[in-house]
Amino acid sequence: MPLIPQPKELIQKEGNFTLNRGTLILIGNSESDNEIKLFNQFLKTSYGFELMTTDNSKSPLNTIQIQVENPKKDQSGEYELKVINSQILISAKGNIGLFYAFQTLQQLLPIEKENEVKIPCLEIKDEPKYAWRGMHLDVGRHFFPKEFIKKYIDYLAMYKMNTFHWHLTEDQGWRIEIKKYPKLTEVGAWRKGSMVGHYNDQKFDDKKYGGFYTQEEIKEIVAYAKSRHITVVPEIEMPGHSQAALAAYPELSCTGGPFEVATQWGVLDDVYCSKEATFEFLQNVLIEVLDLFPSEYIHIGGDESPKTRWKNCAHCQALIKKEGLKDEHELQSYFIRRIEKFLNAKGRQIIGWDEILEGGLAPNAAVMSWRGTEGGIAAAKQKHKVVMTPGSHCYFDHYQGEPKNEPVAIGGYTTVEKVYSFEPTPKDLTSEEAKYIMGAQGNVWTEYMNTPEHVEYMIMPRMAALAEVVWGTSDVTKYQSFQNRLIRHFSVYDKKGINYSRAIFEVTSKVSPSEKGDEVVFTLKSANTGIHFTTDGTNPTANSKKYKEPISVTKNQTVKAAYFENGKQKSAVIEKPFFITKSTGKKISLVNQPHENYGIGGPFTLVDGMRGNMEKYGRDWIGFWGKDLEATIDLGKKQSVSKVTMDVLTNDGSWIHYPKFIEVLVSNDGKSFQSVKKVPAEEIRTMKGIVIIEFDKQKTKYIKVIAPNAGKIPDGKPGAGSDCWLFVDEIMVE
Ligand code: ACM
Ligand code: ZN
C-alpha cells in the first residue's frame, strides 16, 4: 500500500471493493457535509463522477458507511477505515478523523481515470502522534499568489499535516494588508530590485518587485485551510526582520531612517525601536491580524534581531534603565513579554524562534527551535511548549541532492533520508518534559525560490518524509519501505503536475576510513540498484563498470557515477575528485564537536579525501558555531611532513567568518605539541580560504591544527553581536 504517512495499524486483506457511480455514502448526520463534499470533488476531478449521500439505505451493499462520534468537537484525528468486498466502513472520532480517512482512501484509489474504481480490502486504525504537523512558507523574500497558497494547503492536506505557518512580514516585503496602516503595503510591499544569484555574488537587478494579500484574500485562504482542517498561523516578525515596515513608518526605528524595503538578503541592523509608538503600532497591527486568523498561536518572530541600534539609542537605553534590565537581550525579552501580555489578554498564545529564550522566556511563550534542537530542549525543560524545526532536518531551503547538480540554494544538505531520520522528541528529555514537544515543521525560506514551481521542487518530496515523521510512524530502519511508497507518489505528482525533485535517484555517496586506515572507502547508493561508475575522468555510461561494492580509493582520482535503468541514464552524474595525502583516512579527534546542522559526516569529514565546494557549500564542510576548531590527526607512524593545506569559508550573509588564525603543531607522543607555523587572518584572506601552510620538514606522528573562531560578528556586518560560524574542510598533510 503506497500510503504516506504510513497508518499506525494496517492489515491487508484479500479482494477488492469496487467503487462506482452507484456507490452510496451512508451517513446519519449533516455535520460532516464539508468532508463529504471535498471527497466528492476529488472523485469528480479524478474519475468524473460523484457519489450520492443518503441517511437511509435499504442495503449496506455498495456503500461507504460513515460514523462520526463528535463531528465538530473531536480534535484527535482518530479514524478507522475498513474496506471489505461489499462495503467501505469509516468510523471517526470527529470530522478531522473523517477527513483523514478520506485522504487515506484517496491514496488507495488508482491514479488513472477509470469508471470502476477498485480499492484493496484492508483494515486501518490510525491517529497522529504530534499535534503540530507543520509547513512554513516565507512570502516576504518572494511573493506567491493566492492560488499557489491554496495548492500549498492542498499539499499539507494530502499528507495529513495540520499547520500552515505563514511568514508574512520581512525586511524585503510586508505582505498583509493592514487597514490602519496603508503604507505597510503601499510602500512596504514593494522593493526596487532583488538579488540575482547567490548572496556571495552580490549582484542585483533593478526590477520593481512585490505584492501583498488583501484582507479578503486572507480570509478566503484561512477558510480554505479550515475546511481542510489546517490552522494558519500568521507570523508578524518583531523586533528584527522589519525593514519593510520601517521603510513605510521610519519613525518606529531608533534612528528615524529613511529606509528602503531591503533588496539584499541577510540580517539587517535596523529593527523596531522599543519606544511606546512601536508597541502602539504593533498592537494595532495585531488587532487586525487576530480578526483574520483564529489560530491559538500567533508567531511573533524574534529571530536574528541585532542589538546594534538599541545600543546607541537614547530611547532604548532609557527603557533599559527604567525597567532595571541588564542588557539589550533583556530588552528583547521585555519587548516580547509586552506583546505576549497583549495577546494573552485577547485569548491567544505566542510562539517565537528560539532567540526568545535569550534574556528570559515570556511566561507562556512557545518556542520554535531552529538553530538546532538545543533551544527546544531548554524550553521544554522550562515547561514551555516547543515546535522542532532544526536546520539539520527541517530546512527545505537546503540542497537536497548533490549541490553541483541543483539550482542555487542557500546552503546546507538535507536529503529526503535525512528528513526521514528526524526524531522530534530529543532523547535527553524525560517523559514529562517530552510532553511539551508539540511536533515539528518544515521551513521554506524563499531567498532562492522565486516561482511556485521552485517552491514545489524544494518541498516535494521532503515534506512527505516529514509528514510521516510527525504522524509518528516513521522508522529509519525501514527507510527503504518509505522510499518505495514515495516512488509511487511520484506518479501522483506527475498526474497533478506538481514539480518535484528526483534527487532520491541520484547516486549518493559516503566516505569511510578503510580497514587499513590509510585510504578511504567510497560507498555509493541510489533509490535503485543500477549505478555505473568510472575512475578515469570520463562520464559514466550504461557500459561503464557496474557498482557492486565499495570502491577503495588509494590515489588521487575522480569517481564519476550515475544511476541507469534499461540502459538509460536516470540521474545526474555525481563527480567526486579525491585528494589522497598523508592524513587521508587517518584517525582524527576534535576538542569541540561540529554543530548538528553542519556536521553530517562528523570529524572524519576533514580527512575523507574530498574537499568542500567553495561556491555551493552544502556538503563536505563542517561548521562550528561560536566554537574553535582543534583537530588532532594520528598519522599512524612517524612521517616526514612539511605542508598542511586546509580549506576555510567566508560568507558575511550567512555569518560565516574566517578564523582568527590557523596554527599547525606537531608531536610524537600526542601529548606535548610544538608549534611549527601560524598563519594570521590577513594571509587566510589573501589565499581566499585555501590555506597552504608550509614549514621546515618535521618527523611527526601527530599533527594538530588549531583555528579559533572569529568570535562575535563585528558591527556593520550581518548578524553583528552574534557568534560567528567557522566552516572548515579537508586537512591535507604532505
Ligand atoms: C530563521 O531561520 N531565521 C528562523
Ligand atoms: Zn531605540
Would you list the domain boundaries of the chain? Answer: 9-126, 132-496, 506-578, 587-733
pLDDT of residue 175: 98
587-733 carries CATH number 3.40.50.720 = no
- The pTM assigned to this predicted structure is 0.89
Evaluate if residue 613 carries a pLDDT over 90: no
Among 170, 177, 304, 328, the one annotated catalytic: 304
**Concatenated DSSP letters for 396-447?**
TTSB-S-GGGS---SS-B--HHHHHT--SS-TTS-HHHHTTEEEEEEB---T
Q: Cell 462506482 maps to which residue? A: 20
Ligand 1 pocket test, pick from 171, 267, 445 with the greatest ligand atom count within 8 Å of Cβ, gives: 445
Taking CA atoms only, the protein residue closest to ligand 1 atom 3 is 303
- pLDDT tens digit string along 325-381? 999 999 999 999 999 999 999 999 999 999 999 999 999 999 999 999 999 999 999
Chain CA centroid to CA 116, Å: 40
pLDDT of residue 598: 80
Closest atom of ligand 1 to CA, residue 443: 2
Q: Is the previous residue joined to 258 through a cis bond, with omega within 30 degrees of 0? A: yes
pLDDT of residue 23: 95
- pLDDT tens digit string along 251-306? 999 999 999 999 999 889 999 999 999 999 999 999 999 999 999 999 999 999 99
- What's the gap in Å between 396 CA and the centre of ligand 1? 12
Closest atom of ligand 1 to CA, residue 370: 4
Radius of gyration of the chain (CA): 28
Burial (CB < 10 A; 0-12, 13-18, 19+), residue 656, is buried
* Ligand lying nearest the CA atom of residue 356: 1
One-letter-per-residue 3-state SS of 223-255: HHHHHCCCEEEEEEEECCCCHHHHHHCHHHECC
- pLDDT tens digit string along 644-687? 999 999 988 888 999 999 999 999 999 999 999 999 999 999 99
Measured from the Cβ of residue 533, the count of other Cβ atoms closer than 10 Å reads: 20
**Which residue in 390, 394, 412 sits closest to 403, CA to CA?**
412
- What's the gap in Å between 318 CA and the centre of ligand 2? 9
**Concatenated DSSP letters for 86-118?**
TEEEEEESSHHHHHHHHHHHHHHS-SS--SSEE
Identify the architecture of domain 9-126 in CATH.
Answer: 2-Layer Sandwich (3.30)
Decide if 280 is catalytic: no
Q: Which residues line ligand 1 (CB under 6 A)?
A: 303-304, 353, 370
Percent residues over pLDDT 90 in the chain: 85
Ligand 1 pocket test, pick from 169, 351, 353 with the greatest ligand atom count within 8 Å of Cβ, gives: 353
Evaluate if residue 516 carries a pLDDT over 80: no
Please give the residue that has the higher pLDDT: either 106 or 554. Answer: 106
Identify the architecture of domain 506-578 in CATH.
Answer: Sandwich (2.60)
Stated as kind and residue range, the H or E segment containing 147 is helix 146-158
Cβ proximity of 91 and 53 under 8 Å: no
Q: ∠386-291-275 over CA atoms, to 5°?
A: 70
Evaluate if residue 618 carries a pLDDT over 70: no
pLDDT of residue 368: 98
- Quote the cell numbers at residue 451: 516561482
Measured from the Cβ of residue 201, the count of other Cβ atoms closer than 10 Å reads: 11
- What's the gap in Å between 443 CA and the centre of ligand 1? 9
Mean pLDDT, the chain, integer: 94
* Mean pLDDT (whole number) for 612-621: 75
- What's the gap in Å between 368 CA and the centre of ligand 1? 10
Percent residues over pLDDT 70 in the chain: 100
pLDDT of residue 210: 98
Closest atom of ligand 1 to CA, residue 445: 2
- pLDDT tens digit string along 175-226? 999 999 999 999 999 999 999 998 888 899 999 999 999 999 999 999 999 9
Q: Cell 608550509 maps to which residue? A: 694
Phi, psi at residue 563, to the nearest 5°? -100, 130
Write the CATH number of the domain with boundaries 132-496. 3.20.20.80
* Mean pLDDT (whole number) for 403-414: 90
pLDDT of residue 88: 98
Closest atom of ligand 1 to CA, residue 241: 3
d(CA 374, CA 358): 13
pLDDT of residue 57: 78
- pLDDT tens digit string along 42-68? 999 999 999 999 998 788 999 999 999
* Ligand lying nearest the CA atom of residue 335: 2
Evaluate if residue 615 carries a pLDDT over 80: no
Cβ proximity of 692 and 698 under 8 Å: no
- What's the gap in Å between 255 CA and the centre of ligand 2? 7
* Ligand lying nearest the CA atom of residue 412: 1
At a CB cut-off of 8 Å and minimum separation 6, what does 475 contact? none
- pLDDT tens digit string along 112-135? 887 779 999 999 999 999 999 999
